[in-house]
Every structure is written in structure tokens, then in C-alpha cells.
């Protein structure tokens, strides 16, 4: 081909390209009707309208981390001027406070509580319920990413942990009844008069299973472990309070049904969740431990020395296993002692060269021995610490009220606990078999 022709075709080709380039036919499919900015703006408006739409605002039971912590109920009433009124059952202060909020753009459209209010109590690095959460507070967020609406609820995800949090329409009663959540908290903790042991009983309509149930007050968290051999199910759950009972997360799953709402019965202190088809889960009290151990045997005569100690100024005093009655009795001793004196430790020595004795030490006062005999109750898997003598009758008078639980004529249970109290020494509890008295000790030898 001649050079001239090459040019001709080339120019013709380029011309065709040019003419086609400006055709109006855009082949790319539009996935959305609107531009990203328009969609974000629409989303912002949608969230703002939703927040303002409920007459009595919104309610959220916030489970910040349902593997260690319970739920904290918050009530919000948003105003168009960027302020929000808020109340929570985080502590005894259920009053309503005002602060500011903004609709912010995070990884998506979100609502952020921009100045301090009740919800920020969950995100204070310096206020944490247990040592393991030091510098993490209650692991709470106060920026919530908007994920839409469902059945009238606003569905959010937390900013840090991307966990779902639902805002449910609040009612006037929700605001008025918020303090009742704290009364319910006391029912969950259990009064001094209630038995110490609790169980969770599930019924899937045909079979029943029992679980040892323990509740930790500072974290609002409960653990329920199966007591049946060969059945290793356990339910760990965060607990939130309502005026009529509790709500748990994660749900207790029985017979394929997810139970979350338990109703309180003041007669026996039980909490019941009811599903359909005879499915229930009940948290109730029981007079004796579900799981009896042979730990008591180390106290029996002929065994080597065993030394247990409770210390009033050390980690043992904060153990969740101490019962309210035990604390009440400690306080009673300190109230009776002269000014400047207080009880500092309660130790139990068995098969010591001096004998077997309960040993009380004090600040500003000589120590006291209560010598006892150990009597076995093999069928009950417990021991009775039977009174022999006191080393000092005057000092003894201060402690007899507490001492009578340790020397319970019906016996005491000894149990090795699975947790530690900071140090490596194993933790053992002494529990009266006829009253809600439980003392936590380290085994020190």
C-alpha cells in the first residue's frame, strides 16, 4: 500500500473514533439512581427524622460485650436543636440529663453523643468493674452507625466493635419506671435472706436440665454450667434489668427457641422465661449446692495441715463469692470493737500441731483462737466444726455472731473455686449449710 493510502485510512479511522466518542449512549449500568453524596444526605435526613419521630424517644439495652458484661438500659429523647435528654440504669442516678448529639459521617452515617452524658459512663478507662477490664471501663461506645430500620426499631452498629444495637420506641412508662430496674438488680443479686445457691433449669418440653448459676454483681454477668455428667452445655449471659424481670444476652437457647426475657416472681425470687410448646428456663434458688465436692475431706482428722485465710484488706474481701450475710457479720464485729480496732483476718487451721482452730486476728488487739473438733458428715459431703474452747472469752464475745455460722451444727461445705484472687494460691469457700453465709479464703499451704 502506498504511503498516501495509509494516511487516508488512518485519518478515516481517527475520524470514526472521534465521531463515536461523543455518542450519548452510556453503556455502564447505573447501580443507584442518585449520586453517593445524594444518598448519604438522604441517609442523614432519614436517621435524623427517625430519631426525632418517637414521642417519648428511644430505649436501648446496651450489652457492650456479652462475653463479660451485662446490659445497661438507656433512654434517649432527641431534640431538633442538637440536644438529647438521657437517663440510664448504670448506677443509682436515674435522673435525666441533657447533652449534645450530632449526625456524623463515620464509616457510614452515625449518631454520636458529642458531649458527656450517661452513656459515656460505659466508656471511662478509669472506671472499670473488674481488674481484667482495667483501662477499658465497661467497653462502651457512644457513636452508633446507622444500619436502617426494622419493625419500627432503629438498627445501629457500635462504632468500635460493630455489634448490633437496637433503639426501640420508648414509652412514658419506660421513663417513669427506670428506677425500678435498680430494684430488680437487687433481686438478681439476692438479698441476705435468700439461699446462696441458684440454678438455671431448662425444659425443652420433655427433658429438664440443671445448671449451676452464679451472678457477678459488678459486671452484671452470669455463668451457668451443667451439673450433669456427660452433658457439658453451659450458658454464659450478660444481664440487663427491666421493671418486671431481666433480659439476657446472648439468649438462652432451649429446644431451638431463643429465650431472652425472664419474669421475676417475688414469692420465691425466681426468674422465668417462657417459650412455646412447654419450653421454659427458670433461674431459681436452692438450699444446698448443686454440685457437692469431696474437698471437705482435707479437713478431716488424720489429714496433713490445711491452712485457709480470709484477709479484710486484701483481694479476698472483694471476692464475688462472699455473701452479703458474711459482710454484714464482719461489719457487726467492727461496730462492736472499741474505736481504733478492727478485724483483719479469719483463718482456719486443721490438723495443726496446736490442734484445729479458727484464728481471728485484729488491728489493735491480740489474736483469738477458737479450738474446734472436725466431725464428718459423709452423706452430706460436709464437716461440722464443733466447739471446744476459746483462748480469750472477752475477745470471743465480739466474734460469736459470725463464728456461729462457721460452727454451724448442720455443717459447712468446703469448695475449691475455679477462679484466682490475683495470687496463685487456690481459692476455697466455706459455706454454712443452713444459712446464706459464705466466706472466701486462700489455701495458704
Partner 1 sequence: MKLFRYNKTAILAMVSIVLISCASDDQPGESQLDFTQPVKTQLDTWITSNYLTPYNINVQYKWNQNTVDNSRYLFPPTTDKVLPALEIVQQIWLKSYSTVGGADFVKKIAPREIVLVGGVNLNSVGTRTLGIAEGGQRVTLFETDYIDKSNRANVSEFIHTIQHEYIHILNQNKPFDEKAWAVITPVGYTADWYNFDIPESNEIGFITSYARSNINEDFAETASMILIYSKAEYATFLNGIQSPFAYQALKTKEALVVKYFKEAFNMDFYALRDEAEKNTSAVINN
Interface contacts to partner 1, rule CB under 8 A = 4, 7-8, 11, 14-15, 18-19, 21-22, 35, 37-38, 41, 44, 81-82, 99-100, 102, 104, 106, 112-116, 120, 123-126, 134-137, 139-140, 142-143, 159-160
Residue nearer to partner 1 on the CB measure, 112 or 341: 112
Residue nearer to partner 1 on the CB measure, 35 or 276: 35
Residue nearer to partner 1 on the CB measure, 134 or 228: 134
Q: Smallest distance, Å, CB 315 to partner 1?
A: 16
**3-class SS string, the chain:** CCHHHHHHHHHHHHHHHHHHHCCCCCCCCCCCCCCHHHHHHHHHHHHHHHHHHCCCCEEEEEECCCCCCCEEEEEEEECCCCEEEEEECCCCCCCCEEEEEEEEECCCEEEEECCCCHHHHHHCCCCCCCHHHCCCCCCCCCEEEEEEEECCEEEEEECCCCCEEEEEECCHHHHHHHHHHHHHHHHHHCCCCCCCEEEEEEEECCCEEEEEEEEECCCCEEEEEECCCCCCCEEEEEEEECCCEEEEEEEEEECCEEEEEEEEECCCCEEEEECCCCEEEEEEEECCCCCCCCHHHHHCCCCCCEEEEEECCCHHHHCCCCCHHHHHHHHHHHHHCCCCCEEEEEEEEEEECCEEEEEEEEECCCCEEEEEEEEEECCCCEEEEEEEEECCHHHHHHHHHHHHHHCCCCCEEEEECCCCCCCCCCEEEEEECCCCCEEEEEECC
Residue nearer to partner 1 on the CB measure, 66 or 226: 66
Q: Smallest distance, Å, CB 362 to partner 1?
A: 31
Residue nearer to partner 1 on the CB measure, 133 or 348: 133
* Residue 4: Cβ within 10 Å count: 7
Residue nearer to partner 1 on the CB measure, 10 or 366: 10
Phi, psi of 16 (to 5 degrees): -60, -45
Residue nearer to partner 1 on the CB measure, 122 or 325: 122
Q: Smallest distance, Å, CB 30 to partner 1?
A: 16
Which residues touch 265 (CB under 8 Å, ≥6 apart)?
A: 271, 272
Q: Smallest distance, Å, CB 41 to partner 1?
A: 6
Residue nearer to partner 1 on the CB measure, 46 or 136: 136
Residue nearer to partner 1 on the CB measure, 135 or 353: 135
Q: How far is CA 437 from CA 64, 249, 418, 429, 433, in A?
A: 33, 30, 19, 10, 8
Q: Smallest distance, Å, CB 75 to partner 1?
A: 19
Q: Smallest distance, Å, CB 217 to partner 1?
A: 21
CA 66 to CA 288: how far, in whole Å? Answer: 29
Q: Smallest distance, Å, CB 62 to partner 1?
A: 14
Q: Smallest distance, Å, CB 74 to partner 1?
A: 14
Terminal alpha carbon distance of the chain: 105
Q: Smallest distance, Å, CB 24 to partner 1?
A: 9
Residue nearer to partner 1 on the CB measure, 116 or 332: 116
Burial of 154: CB neighbours in 10 Å, binned 0-12, 13-18, 19+: buried
Q: Smallest distance, Å, CB 25 to partner 1?
A: 14
Tell me the three cell numbers of residue 391. 483462748
Residue nearer to partner 1 on the CB measure, 70 or 190: 70
Amino acid at each position: 500500500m502506498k504511503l498516501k493510502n495509509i494516511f487516508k485510512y488512518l485519518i478515516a479511522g481517527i475520524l470514526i473514533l472521534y465521531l463515536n466518542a461523543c455518542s450519548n449512549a452510556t453503556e455502564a449500568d447505573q447501580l443507584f439512581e442518585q449520586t453517593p453524596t445524594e444518598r448519604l444526605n438522604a441517609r442523614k435526613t432519614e436517621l435524623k427524622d427517625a430519631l426525632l419521630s418517637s414521642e417519648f424517644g428511644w430505649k436501648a439495652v446496651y450489652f457492650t460485650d456479652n462475653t463479660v458484661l451485662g446490659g445497661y438500659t438507656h433512654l434517649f429523647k432527641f431534640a431538633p436543636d442538637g440536644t438529647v435528654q438521657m437517663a440510664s440504669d448504670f448506677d443509682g442516678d436515674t435522673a435525666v440529663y441533657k447533652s449534645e448529639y450530632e449526625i456524623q459521617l463515620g464509616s457510614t452515617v452515625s449518631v454520636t453523643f458529642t458531649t458527656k452524658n450517661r452513656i459515656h459512663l460505659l466508656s471511662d478507662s478509669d472506671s472499670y468493674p473488674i481488674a481484667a477490664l482495667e483501662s477499658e471501663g465497661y467497653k462502651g461506645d457512644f457513636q452508633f452507625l446507622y444500619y436502617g430500620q426494622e419493625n419500627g426499631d432503629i438498627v445501629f452498629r457500635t462504632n468500635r466493635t460493630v455489634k448490633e444495637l437496637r433503639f426501640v420506641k420508648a414509652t412514658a412508662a419506660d421513663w417513669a419506671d427506670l428506677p425500678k430496674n435498680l430494684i430488680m438488680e437487687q433481686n438478681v443479686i439476692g438479698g441476705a435472706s435468700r439461699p446462696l445457691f441458684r440454678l438455671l433449669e431448662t425444659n425443652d418440653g420433655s427433658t429438664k436440665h440443671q445448671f449451676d448459676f452464679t451472678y457477678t454483681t459488678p459486671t452484671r454477668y452470669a455463668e451457668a454450667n451443667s451439673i450433669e455428667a456427660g452433658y457439658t452445655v453451659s450458658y454464659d449471659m450478660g444481664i440487663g434489668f427491666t421493671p418486671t424481670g431481666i433480659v439476657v444476652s446472648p439468649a438462652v437457647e432451649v429446644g431451638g427457641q431463643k429465650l431472652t426475657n425472664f419474669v421475676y416472681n417475688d414469692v420465691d425470687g425466681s426468674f422465668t422465661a417462657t417459650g412455646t410448646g412447654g419450653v421454659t428456663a427458670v433461674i431459681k434458688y436452692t438450699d444446698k449446692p448443686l454440685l457437692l465436692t469431696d474437698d471437705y475431706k482435707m479437713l478431716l482428722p488424720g489429714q496433713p495441715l490445711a491452712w485457709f485465710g480470709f484477709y479484710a484488706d486484701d483481694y479476698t474481701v472483694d471476692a464475688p463469692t462472699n455473701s452479703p450475710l458474711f459482710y454484714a457479720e464482719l461489719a457487726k464485729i467492727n461496730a462492736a470493737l472499741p474505736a481504733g480496732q478492727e478485724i483483719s483476718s479469719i483463718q482456719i487451721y486443721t490438723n495443726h500441731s496446736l490442734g484445729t482452730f479458727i484464728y481471728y486476728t485484729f488491728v489493735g488487739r491480740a489474736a483469738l483462737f477458737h479450738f474446734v473438733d472436725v466431725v464428718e458428715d459423709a452423706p452430706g459431703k460436709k464437716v461440722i466444726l464443733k466447739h471446744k474452747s476459746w483462748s480469750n472469752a472477752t475477745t470471743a464475745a465480739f466474734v460469736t455472731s459470725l463464728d456461729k455460722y462457721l460452727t454451724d451444727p448442720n455443717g459447712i461445705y468446703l469448695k475449691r473455686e475455679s477462679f484466682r484472687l490475683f495470687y496463685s494460691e487456690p481459692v476455697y469457700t466455706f459455706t454454712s449449710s443452713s444459712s446464706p453465709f459464705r466466706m472466701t479464703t486462700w489455701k495458704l499451704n
